[in-house]
Chains A and B, each alone.
Chain A
Amino acid sequence: MKEPTTEVIQGTLDMLILKTLSLEPMHGYGIAKRVEQISRGVFKVNPGSLLTALQRLERAGWLDAAWRQTENARRAKFYTLTRTGRKELDAVTADWKRRALAIARLLDAEG
């Protein structure tokens, strides 16, 4: 039997990161864990892709980054959603919902 794929759907990683950070500021590992938890293990985030995406989103001005102390006393880079980041999240969420709905309709259609 084929192993179920856990790869994040192409092009949705940015959206997932933004959504996760809209709940609270978080460091890289936290984001990865949160995505895994909420998706109940359907998506596993590749660390390389995650860090790359974080740097890109930070440069785009959607996230702010700062080194801070974690609850277990380690220094970590925490990412915060900015105002333009929230706007971007709203836009991509609306777009994604529209498309997901369309795909669901197509798949549910009965011949």
Chain B
Amino acid sequence: MSLWRQIARGWTSLTRPGAADNDVDREIRHYLEEAEVEYRAQGLTPDEARRAARLDMGAPVAVREEVRAQGWESVVRTAAADARFAARQLRRAPGFAVASLTTLALGIGASTAIYSAVKPTLLEPLPYPDAPRIITIWDRLPDGHRLEVTFGTYREVLARCRSCSALAVTRPWQPTLTGADEPQRLIGQLVAADYFRVFGVQPLVGGGFDPADDRPGGRPSVVLGDAVWRRVLNADPRAIGRSLLLDGTNYTVAGVMPPGFSDVLAPDTEIWSLLQYNPALPPNGREWGHHLRMVGRFADQSSFDAVAADLDAIARQPLPSFPRPGWAAVKNGFAVSELQEDVTRSVRPALVAVMIAASILLAIACVNATSLLLARAAQRRGELAVRAALGATRPRLIRQLVTESLLLVVLGGGLALLFVRMGLETLVAIAPPGLPRVDAIAVDAKVFAFTFGVAVVVGLVVGLLPALRASRSALRPGLQAGARQTTGGHRLLRRGLVVAQVALALVLLIGAGLLLRSLNRLFAIPSGFDSAQVLALKVHVSSQRFDAATIHQRFAETLAAVRGVPGVAAAVLTSHLPFGGELDPNRYGIQIESSANDPKARGSDAYRYAVSAGYFRALGIPLRRGRWLDERDAADAPLSVVISESLARRRFPDRDPIGQRIHVGPENRPWYTIVGIVGDVKQASLAVTETDAVYVTTPQWVFADSEVWIVVKMARDTGVSASAIRQAIWSADRNQPIVRTVTLDELVALSAAERRFALVLFQLFGLVALMLAATGAYGVLSEGVTERTREVGLRLALGAPRRAILSMVLREGTWLACTGIALGLVGATVASRALTTLLFDVSRLDAVTYLGVTVLVLGVTFAASAVPAWRAARVDPSTTLRS
């Protein structure tokens, strides 16, 4: 009952303050009337009686305030009054408000956005049951490079690995769905029957794949993703057993995956079907091609180390019952990694670096806010002194100042939420293409709570510091000196903060500088081809529709149509494109007829390109010796191959390669005669040095590639549009699906996407940090000048030259900058360690970068201190001394 009364009375008093006041007033009035009556009864005149009653009571307003000051509602009331007052204060100092709010919002916003983006990728387990038990298994090249496994290797590991509870392989598959509306291309994966067991996720509807179907001639079946089930089958609850016409074959729907399921190995996948490879492992079939990704889940009682040891033993001890061809002998052991580590491999270094940058930015924002609040508190010492003199108690002053800084932080946090939204969208837009789980990136409430919490703590501490100092010393010096001088400790703290700002900015800028130099070095490397004015269109080849000869004929017509577009200089075909991705499954062992028994020669790989005549000229790849491939190298002509310069140098150190014969891939394939040597071309990226390549003509290769690139070289400065090319392709083959359109320049740029991503953020943050540091230095110096106006005036009056005054302030600025730079340099030598993997051909202690950034920071802080220095030098002694 009493609790209820507390709440109810407090509430009434808050919501209807007039009524509550009125109640107290009436009670006071009644008290006075009674007292007056009493005094008159004692014989006083009415006037005397009234005065006596008043005297007993004291001021009625004071009594009312005393009564009203108790109860919880008065705490709320003062807090609200404080907040209102704080808001008024902010409005009165718009410069300060805007500066602190922007800094805080930027710091909180940027770090929240980045942590939110990084969290689902690096920090959270993948969305599968017991996800840390899922591993990926790769074959390994002698140089340690990872290589897709063959189906034969998978069969052997499946049979021998005891610590694995499920094991599967997968490769991309892009079937074209026909039958219903217009044909559409689906993004899929061909998998072994156990694939979903590895992830520990079963179809929501349907039983999934029947392992008995996973063989040549087995029933074709598919498992659908939730999205495609809704899109194609209109979320039909009886979808199981329905059939879909894919690439001309009827596939039975065997299951539908749950809505949240996403295949991190191939994030866009929406349909899965069985590999249906031959378990008898014919020696020259696709079963022995390195093109499968292997994933496994290890058993509950096993561990990562145990399964890695198990796989290592399998690799090292071949069994007669599992024969291995030379190129799939797993001589270098398996590369085993956790699934999460595997899929984040390419982006991890960039994300970690960016996360560090975001933390530094948050730190800078907090330092900056602290510095601004301190400056503000210094300006208001006079006001605080007056308030204290008028009777404000110390807790009351502290509460007011803390309310002010908290209000700032809360407003900054609100503003930051807007930044987070925009920031995340930008991040996703500029994120490197290898970033897995992009769909899972969203504003994370917990992350926001964390960064916001950091800012709140800073706001509290920073609000408390000047409040304590102000309330302690408020009365005495503040009033006396009219807030002219500041205490020494306070100045020291603010200088320390400026030093910290300069140091942190330097660290970020050095990071940016190192990345910038890496990218410059990287793009200074010749790619070996001319990427200017080249457009590439990746097209899908539906092998079910036509036989190989018809396919070649069709593409010849398509190329002719493209060449007919005005402005097109050349149009060629290639199975792969440098920087086009998916190169790994395209590496083949090369054996030379004349050194077949040389053990050194085994296991050396080269990238294989199946190209049409004119490919080299279209890409500007120079011919070194012999001849180019041309129309002579048709399907029925003697097999010819052109090799890269590096391959020629390495494998034919002592003789002329022209005329020699080589195998590309399995030994039972035919011999190709080397007819020419061309210049080296960078294949996977500018940083990777492997350039060994062999080129054959499309009709002379053993199979038709399922996807090929149409490469179009434009004549200089003719704006041929991609859509004109696409129209030309469709004019030749109406149903030709075009998977991707990209310029070769874009492909090259994309190969450094992770570095560029990190660079963009480091540059942005570094510049913001430098700006804040400069503002900080300017603020503390000009405040110093203002405080010392009288001193400067005195000095000038006593005959000090203006130059001396100028250099006095500049010296102070330079001292701040140099201390900050020294600390920052030390910090950078440590922090740059996080960047090591992102750097290319640049030491993380690169002297040029360190020197350049030092000069930049020094210059900017010098400029920032020049303004107050100039102001100090212009002080007029006669006016300042008189004031």
- Pairwise interchain contact A48-B27, C-beta atoms closer than 8 A: no
* Contact A52/B71 with A60-B2, A61-B1 known, Cβ cut-off 8 Å: no
A51 to B2, CA, bound (A): 18
Contacts of A30 in B (CB 8 A): 34
Q: How many residues on B have C-beta within 8 angstroms of the other chain's C-beta atoms?
A: 26
Check: A25 CB closer than 8 A to any chain B CB: no
- In angstroms, how far is the closest chain A Cβ from the Cβ of B695? 93
Contacts of B23 in A (CB 8 A): 77
- Pairwise interchain contact A74-B9, C-beta atoms closer than 8 A: no
Interface flags for A56-99 (1: CB within 8 Å of B; 0: not) read 10111100000000001011110000001000000000000000
Which residues in window 1-59 of A have CB below 8 A to B? 27-30, 32-33, 47-49, 51-52, 55-56, 58-59
Check: B58 CB closer than 8 A to any chain A CB: yes
Contacts of A59 in B (CB 8 A): 2, 5-6, 9, 71
Cβ-neighbour of A47 out of B9, B31, B70 (below 8 A): B31
Check: B162 CB closer than 8 A to any chain A CB: no
- Pairwise interchain contact A61-B5, C-beta atoms closer than 8 A: yes
Cβ-neighbour of A51 out of B1, B6, B24, B34 (below 8 A): B24
Contacts of B750 in A (CB 8 A): none
- In angstroms, how far is the closest chain A Cβ from the Cβ of B52? 13
- Pairwise interchain contact A55-B34, C-beta atoms closer than 8 A: no
Cβ-neighbour of B66 out of A52, A72, A74 (below 8 A): A52
Contacts of B66 in A (CB 8 A): 48-49, 51-52
Q: Which of B34, B38, B70 has the most CB of A within 10 A?
A: B34
Check: B37 CB closer than 8 A to any chain A CB: yes
Chain B residue at minimal CB-CB distance from A82: B1
Contacts of B35 in A (CB 8 A): 29
Chain A residue at minimal CB-CB distance from B13: A55
Chain B residue at minimal CB-CB distance from A67: B26
Interface secondary structure of B, over-half rule:
helix
Interface flags for B12-30 (1: CB within 8 Å of A; 0: not) read 0000000000011011101
Q: How many residues on A have C-beta within 8 angstroms of the other chain's C-beta atoms?
A: 23
- Pairwise interchain contact B30-A55, C-beta atoms closer than 8 A: no
Check: B812 CB closer than 8 A to any chain A CB: no
Task: Count A/B pairs, Cβ under 8 Å.
Answer: 68
Chain A residue at minimal CB-CB distance from B23: A77
- Pairwise interchain contact B67-A33, C-beta atoms closer than 8 A: no
Cβ-neighbour of B27 out of A32, A60, A77 (below 8 A): A77
Chain A residue at minimal CB-CB distance from B62: A48
- Pairwise interchain contact B63-A51, C-beta atoms closer than 8 A: yes
- Pairwise interchain contact B30-A28, C-beta atoms closer than 8 A: yes
Check: B57 CB closer than 8 A to any chain A CB: yes
Contacts of A51 in B (CB 8 A): 24, 27-28, 31, 63, 66-67
Chain A residue at minimal CB-CB distance from B34: A29
A84 to B26, CA, bound (A): 27
Check: B338 CB closer than 8 A to any chain A CB: no
Contacts of B33 in A (CB 8 A): 74
A72 to B515, CA, bound (A): 92
Chain A residue at minimal CB-CB distance from B69: A52
- Pairwise interchain contact A28-B62, C-beta atoms closer than 8 A: no
Q: Which of A30, A47, A52, A61 has the most CB of B within 10 A?
A: A47
- In angstroms, how far is the closest chain A Cβ from the Cβ of B17? 15
Contacts of B34 in A (CB 8 A): 27, 29-30, 74, 76
Check: B56 CB closer than 8 A to any chain A CB: yes
A16 to B344, CA, bound (A): 76
- Pairwise interchain contact B67-A52, C-beta atoms closer than 8 A: yes
Cβ-neighbour of B38 out of A33, A47, A75 (below 8 A): A33
Contacts of B6 in A (CB 8 A): 59
A27 to B27, CA, bound (A): 9
- In angstroms, how far is the closest chain A Cβ from the Cβ of B237? 62
Contacts of B57 in A (CB 8 A): 47-48
- In angstroms, how far is the closest chain A Cβ from the Cβ of B13? 10
Q: Which of B2, B27, B37 has the most CB of A within 10 A?
A: B27
- Pairwise interchain contact A47-B30, C-beta atoms closer than 8 A: no
- Pairwise interchain contact A55-B58, C-beta atoms closer than 8 A: no
Cβ-neighbour of A52 out of B30, B38, B56, B70 (below 8 A): B70
Contacts of A58 in B (CB 8 A): 5, 9
A84 to B27, CA, bound (A): 24
Known pairs A27-B30, A77-B30; list 8 more (Cβ under 8 Å): A28-B31, A49-B66, A56-B71, A61-B2, A74-B33, A75-B26, A76-B30, A84-B1
- Measured CB to CB, the residues of B under 8 A from A are 1-2, 5-6, 9, 23-24, 26-28, 30-31, 33-35, 37-38, 56-58, 62-63, 66-67, 70-71
Task: Give 7 A-B contacts (CB < 8 Å), ordered by A residue.
Answer: A32-B31, A48-B62, A51-B31, A59-B2, A59-B6, A75-B26, A76-B34
9 closest Cβ pairs, A-B complex: A61-B2, A29-B34, A48-B63, A48-B66, A29-B31, A47-B57, A76-B30, A52-B67, A51-B67
